[in-house]
Amino acid sequence: MKIVLFIIFFLLLGAFFIISEKNLFLKNPEARKELAVSYFTWIKQLFDNSKNLAGYVIKFDWLPNPKEEK
């Protein structure tokens, strides 16, 4: 349950940063549209970066090199 709350908090915080950075007034329909586009672009970047990071970690050599052991 704590993980779910952390994820929700993280996603809301991201939305608040976008609203603050772009000075959006959410009573305006155009501002809500801009928020949606920016927010989903940010979410897509999060997933792409996570995918790249996971791929890098998987390719990393985690086993010790037997030649270096003493």
Chain segment 49-58, per-residue pLDDT in tens: 999 999 988 8
| 57 token code pair | 């970690």
pLDDT at 66: 76
Nearest to residue 13, comparing CAs of 37, 33, 43? 43
Question: CA torsion sign, 41 to 12 to 4 to 60?
Answer: positive
Res. 70: pLDDT tops 60? no
The confidence band for 63, taking pLDDT boundaries of 50, 70 and 90, is confident
48 to 27, 40, 61: CA distances (angstroms):
31, 12, 22
Considering the entire predicted model, what is its pTM?
A: 0.74
